[in-house]
Amino acid sequence: MASKKAYVDHLKSIPLFAACNRKELERIARSGDETKWTAGTVLLDQGQTGNEAFVILEGTVKIQRNGRKIATLGPGAIVGELSLLDHGPRTARAQCETDCTLFVISQRHFFAVLDEVPSLAHKVLAALAGRIRELDRAYYG
Rounded Cα distance, 121 and 43, in Å: 26
pLDDT per residue as tens, the chain (141 positions): 667 778 888 899 888 898 999 999 999 999 999 999 999 999 999 999 999 999 999 999 999 999 999 999 999 899 998 888 888 899 999 999 999 999 999 999 999 999 999 889 899 889 888 888 988 898 887
Please, are residues 7 and 18 in contact by the beta-carbon 8 Å criterion?
Answer: no
The domains of the chain are located at: 4-140
Question: Domain 4-140: what homologous superfamily?
Answer: Jelly Rolls (2.60.120.10)
**CA distances to 29, 41, 83, 103, 131 from 122, in Å:** 18, 34, 18, 23, 14
